[in-house]
Structure 1
Amino acid sequence: MFSILGAIIGYSIYRFPGAVAGFVLGSFIDRLNFKKGPNQGTAGGQRQSRGPFSDIFQQATRGSRVTPADFELNLISLSSFVIKADGTVSQSELDYVRQYFVQAYGKERANATFKTFNEVIKSREMDPQRICMMLRARTRYESRLQMLHFLFSVANADGTVSTAEVNMIQRIAGYLSIQMADFESIKAMFFKNPDSAYKILEVDRNATDAEVKKAYREMVKKYHPDKLVHMDEAYQKGAEEKFRKVQEAYEQLQKERGF
């Protein structure tokens, strides 16, 4: 259709050369529309409704950034691996994920997201490595750290983070190319022990006061919420919580060490 239309328009402007150029350009557009398939075209003058994330697993061939819609499905997908890691599906963990999306995007959009997710898992087997590889190539490191914090929050929704859940999150962290020190730092935010504050700041107990102060300054730069101003409000709130944990860890060491 576009090939013929392009040829006509081209001929009216540049005669025969224009017709050839118009036909070539129109043919290219026709091929693009054909590749989109019936669901992305129009029917009866109306665009058919599709879930906002139905092409998530094809994003590796598109663009250079992951859209907010992609993040929504990716978060649910990775959350599902964590929730199922210990062999039991916790209702409180499921509720946490749903509540997170409802608060962040509204009930209607959240329901659409979960509906699309259910359709995806029925049609194909999800691979955490494949999801993470796509995210790793198209997201900032700070964003991936926040995703890790979110997954720990999901695991902790039932009051405890199991060993199986930790192992799954560590596996995901590896796929996302997150440094081990950063993984241990975020993990320590969910486990209370005498060394938690040190692990959060990524220093050992033998560190000097000067080293602790330096580590705190570095963590502030790494975890400051301003690093995620380009992301959804829900992500920014999570970044604030993570940043607060860093501040609390530093204040704890200040009191213990008296500086």
Structure 2
Amino acid sequence: MGGIGMFIIVALLVSWVFNSIRNGLSNMLPSNSNSNSNKIRAKCPYCGELSLIDSEDSWKCACGKVFVYRNSTIYKMEDTCSDIAIHVTALLAKIAKADGFVTKEEVSVLEEIYNRFELNNNQQNEAGRIFSNEKSNISDYKKHIHKVKELAKEREILKVVVECMFMITMTDKNFNNEQEKMILEAVSAFGLSECEYKEIKDIYVEDLDEYYKILCCSNKSTDDEVKKAYRQLMMQYHPDKYVSKDLPQDILDSITEKYRKIQESYDIVNLKDKTKINDMKKSYQKEDSVEQNSNSENNKEEVAADKVNNK
């Protein structure tokens, strides 16, 4: 019994030693489970294969397809926005919010821009999420301007980005100081010339100073102030007030012309779409031309009548 007891004790000691050695070695060796614990399990949207990835980025699956992991969501490569589209969308979100709030009209213009660049439905959905997230903080707009500059391959792309900024800005016909500051920052960072800037600005920003002046207002006047001034002037210069006053015809014509100019000015400053403004200007110019031709014909008839009478 004594020999058996001694054998058991030795066996226990040997087992303890081997276990201690094994545990010590395992503590010294790197653990695969620890190294994999920081990995992200991503399912390839093409083949369904699971992959371990490190971070948000573009990843190539064993099937050969590239997928994108972004904002805790996995996308097919063709259903995601390009890097430059992401930063342009963020920039547009900030310039839309720069005047305090984002309007339905601005969102509609944004959708027009998406269609212009032929984004598919999934890309538009992602761009919409980016827009919603980025509009909450406009203070970091400069970093997106510089990322766009870094990513853009052609100068024309930079000019199109500035044009898109104007499209968003001018939906409410108000060239807000903060929005102008953002656009000028982009123009400077993109290296565009003053001539290029003015060329783009003239497409979207109509100089309405002369029309505001006729209404005795300025472009800083509110809609209510403009409307009030318009109504007062229309009452003051309404031709019917002067018909019975036995005034010379040239003065009556002058009053009628003033009345027409007031109406024209009010119509133009109330339009938000520059294309419509130009159309309305052409309409009024056409009326002027017809009126001038009519007056010219009348003058000819008067001259001919005078000649006949003189004979």
**What band does the TM-score fall into relative to the shorter chain?**
0.3 to 0.5
Q: Which protein has greater RCO, CA pairs closer than 8 Å, 6+ apart?
A: 1
How does the TM-score come out when normalised to structure 1? 0.46
Q: Which has the higher helix share?
A: 1
- Whichever structure has more strand as a proportion of its residues is 2
Please say which structure displays the higher CA radius of gyration. 2
Q: Could you tell me the TM-score, scaled by structure 2's length? A: 0.39
